[in-house]
Amino acid sequence: MQELEPIFAAAHRQLRPQTPLPEIKIEFFPFAGLNHTARLHENRLIIRVSDLFTDAPSEVYWSLALILLGKLYRKTIDSSYHRTYRAFILTEDIQERARIARTKRSRRIHARDARGRHVDLEQLFDDLNQEYFAGSLARPRLSWSRKKSRHVLGRYDATHNIIFISLVFDVPDVPQYVVAYILFHEMLHLKHRSRVDDSRLMVHTAEFKAEEKRFREYQKAKLWLSNSGTDT
């Protein structure tokens, strides 16, 4: 921990050269993933770094210090530091550590029944699986969301292998092809896993986007979502 304090002190001096250096307290914290926090309280700078970073290289610590303090003090940080940080967290070793941490430490997932009032997600999954994937996808857990979100329409949780669909779509006036499209999109995440490209995690790859347009009523579904104010 002692090697981190001089790094954060130097980053503070670089970002706020006219401001007296506050007391700095740093700890490695068992977050459920790659999280870090920085807050200033009564001239005390309190830093929590993910314990997955205990053996990170010095250049990664330096980049992290600038990123965290830059966010805290609303300072613009050179993009090279973000690239250094991303390159480190996207390595296979760190991604695997993060996956294990999420599995062990994340809060329990509260899933609802896959059978809604108007749509059965399991039956819809099976139908889409046969039509578009030749039945090749293993069915994950399926659940309607707890809230009627218009911002997160669907989500695949790879850690717990579960697909959530927003409860806003389990109503009679939503066309079946719209719900099918939302679920089809999340099913594509089962087939097209994320990959690293130029130090960036690509969730929707070119292959993902191309296959998404194979959905028979793709344009129709996108138009309906846009007109309803739920298109993301």
Average pLDDT in the chain: 89
The strands making up 44-50's β-sheet, listed across from edge to edge, are: 23-29, 44-50, 36-41
Q: Answer whether residue 131 shows pLDDT above 90.
A: yes
pLDDT of 202 = 63
Looking at the chain, the whole-number percentage of residues with pLDDT higher than 90 is: 64
CATH of the domain at 202: 3.30.2010.10
Q: Which two tokens stand for residue 2?
A: 């002692």
pLDDT of 146 = 83
pLDDT of 103 = 76
Structural domain containing residue 210: 121-228
Per-residue pLDDT of 89-121, as tens digits, reads 888 899 888 888 887 776 666 667 888 899 999
pLDDT of 61 = 95
Q: What is the band of 147 on the pLDDT scale with cuts at 50, 70, 90?
A: confident
DSSP state, residue 140:
-
Per-residue pLDDT of 171-229, as tens digits, reads 999 999 999 999 999 999 988 876 555 546 567 888 889 999 999 999 999 999 998 87
Which of 105, 140, 167 terminates a domain? The answer is 105
Q: Which two tokens stand for residue 86?
A: 């991303």
Total domain count, the chain: 2
Q: Answer whether residue 160 shows pLDDT above 60.
A: yes
Task: Look at residue 114 and tell me if it is in a domain.
Answer: no
Which of 66, 81, 105 terminates a domain? The answer is 105
Could you tell me if 101 and 156 lie in one domain?
Answer: no
Q: Region 111-135: what's the mean pLDDT?
A: 91
Which of 78, 105, 132 terminates a domain? The answer is 105
Could you tell me if 99 and 144 lie in one domain?
Answer: no
Q: Answer whether residue 164 shows pLDDT above 70.
A: yes
CA-to-CA distance for 31 and 52, rounded, in angstroms?
A: 9
**Cα Rg for the chain, rounded, in angstroms?**
22
Q: What is the band of 150 on the pLDDT scale with cuts at 50, 70, 90?
A: confident
